[in-house]
C-alpha cells in the first residue's frame, strides 16, 4: 500500500468515526429506567482506537459539520448556535478529550491502567469545558451548574469507561491492520 492509499484509508476511518460519534447522540441503550446515551463512549473510543492526532481530527470533523449547519447534532439543531448555546462547552470538550485520551493511551501501548487513566482525564476535560460554559451561557451559579451538568452523569461515565476497555481490546487489532480482513466474496 503506498502512502496516498494509507492516507486515504486513515481519512476514511476518521470520517466514519466522526459519523459514529454523530450517531452516538441518537443511540441510547435502555438499561433499567434510564437510557444510556452512547456519544461520550464513542468519543473515548475515537481517542483509544485512532490515537491522538486522528482522534482529534475525527471529532473536529464532526464538530465542523455541525457548526457549518449540517444536521449532525442531536435534537435536530445545528449550526454555530449550538456552540453558543448552553451545551456548547461539552462539544469543545469532546475534541480536547479525544486528543488527550489518544495521546495518553498511545504512550501506554494498550496497558489497561493507562487507558483508564486516559479516559478519566478525558472525562474531566469534557466537564471542565462543559460546566464552565453552561454557567456562562445560562448565568447559573457554579454549584447549580455542577448539579445539573455533571453529577447526574457520573455513574454513566464510570460504566462507559469500564465498558470501553474491553471494547477497545476487541477492536484494536482490526484498526492496526495486523488483522487484515481478506474479502474473497467471489
Give contact residues for other proteins (rule: CB under 8 A). 5, 8-9, 11-16, 18-20, 22-23, 26-27, 29, 31-32, 36, 38, 41, 45, 49, 57, 61-62, 64-65, 68-72, 74-82, 84-86, 137-140, 144, 148, 159-160, 162-163, 166-167, 170-171, 174-175, 180-186
Q: Which is nearer to other proteins, 116 or 167 (CB)?
A: 167
Q: What is the DSSP letter of 75?
A: G
Give buried/exposed letters for 107-136 (b at 16+ CB in 10 A, else e): eeeeeeeebbebbeebbebbbebbbebbbe
Q: Quote the least distance from Cβ 122 to other proteins, whole Å.
A: 17
Q: Quote the least distance from Cβ 22 to other proteins, whole Å.
A: 5
150/167 Cα distance (integer angstroms): 24
Strand partners of residue 34: 31
- In the three-class reduction of DSSP (H, G, I as helix; E, B as strand; rest coil), residue 2 is classed as coil
Q: Quote the least distance from Cβ 108 to other proteins, whole Å.
A: 20
Amino acid at each position: 500500500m503506498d502512502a496516498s492509499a494509507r492516507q486515504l484509508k486513515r481519512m476514511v476511518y476518521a470520517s466514519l468515526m466522526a459519523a459514529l460519534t454523530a450517531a452516538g447522540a441518537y443511540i441510547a441503550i435502555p438499561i433499567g429506567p434510564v437510557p444510556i446515551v452512547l456519544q461520550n463512549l464513542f468519543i473515548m473510543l475515537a481517542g483509544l482506537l485512532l490515537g491522538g492526532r486522528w482522534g482529534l481530527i475525527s471529532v473536529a470533523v464532526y464538530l465542523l459539520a455541525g457548526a457549518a449547519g449540517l444536521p449532525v447534532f442531536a435534537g435536530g439543531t445545528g449550526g454555530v448556535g449550538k456552540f453558543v448555546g448552553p451545551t456548547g462547552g461539552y462539544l469543545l470538550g469532546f475534541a480536547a478529550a479525544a486528543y488527550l485520551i489518544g495521546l495518553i493511551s498511545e504512550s501506554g501501548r494498550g496497558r489497561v491502567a493507562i487507558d483508564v487513566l486516559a479516559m478519566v482525564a478525558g472525562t474531566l476535560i469534557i466537564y471542565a469545558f462543559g460546566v464552565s460554559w453552561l454557567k456562562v451561557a445560562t448565568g447559573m451559579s457554579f454549584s447549580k451548574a455542577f448539579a445539573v451538568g455533571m453529577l447526574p452523569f457520573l455513574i454513566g461515565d464510570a460504566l462507559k469507561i469500564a465498558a470501553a476497555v474491553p471494547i477497545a481490546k476487541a477492536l484494536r487489532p482490526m484498526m492496526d491492520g495486523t488483522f487484515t480482513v481478506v474479502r474473497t466474496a467471489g
